[in-house]
């Protein structure tokens, strides 16, 4: 009888822990926007990295990717409304760096590398502090 009671208690605790984990995951996934913004930004940055790696740095394609990144960077404040001011400042720096990169209209791989350097610097700084 005592063994049965102990088994039921252990089973109840295990089910409770599993239920809590699933509930916490569901609550964390309610707002997919922050993750989606970062994944989409990473996708466009990866496209530029692949162009650099393959030495296929077409001016039009570069500009399109940079403009996409610039538009996505505009969504960062809305995606992270409760972020600290330092995060918001870095997001502003990112938008400025992307605007400068797009305005420079890099026509070849060395120009694209130079244009991405400040963008990558802001991304790295932000990810070191807030990731």
Q: Quick one: pLDDT band at residue 10, thresholds 50, 70, 90?
A: confident
Q: Where are the chain's structural domains? A: 1-30, 32-130
pLDDT of residue 19: 87
Res. 29: pLDDT tops 70: no
Assess contact for 52 and 96: CB atoms under 8 A: no
> Please, is 117 exposed, middle or buried when counting C-beta atoms within 10 Å of its C-beta (0-12, 13-18, 19+)?
exposed
Mean pLDDT of all residues in the chain? 92
Closest of 60, 107, 53, 103 to residue 119, by C-alpha: 103
pLDDT of residue 111: 95
Q: Which tokens sit at 89?
A: 């400042």
Assess contact for 105 and 126: CB atoms under 8 A: no
For 51-66, how does the pLDDT look when each residue is reduced to its tens digit (9 = 90+)?
A: 999 999 999 999 999 9
Question: What's the topology of domain 32-130?
Answer: 1.20.120
Please tell me the distance from the alpha carbon of residue 55 to that of residue 13, in angstroms, as a whole number: 58
Res. 26: pLDDT tops 90: no
């Amino acid at each position: 009888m005592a063994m049965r009671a102990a088994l039921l208690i252990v089973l109840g605790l295990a089910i409770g822990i599993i239920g809590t984990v699933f509930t916490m995951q569901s609550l964390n996934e309610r707002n997919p926007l922050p993750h989606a913004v970062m994944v989409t930004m990473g996708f466009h940055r990866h496209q530029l990295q692949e162009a650099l790696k393959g030495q296929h740095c077409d001016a039009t394609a570069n500009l399109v990717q940079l403009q996409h990144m610039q538009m996505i960077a505009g969504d960062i404040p809305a995606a992270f409304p409760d972020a600290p001011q330092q995060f918001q400042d870095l997001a502003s720096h990112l938008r400025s760096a992307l605007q400068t990169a797009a305005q420079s209209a890099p026509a070849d791989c060395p120009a694209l590398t130079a244009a991405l350097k400040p963008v990558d610097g802001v991304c790295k700084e932000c990810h070191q502090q807030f990731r």
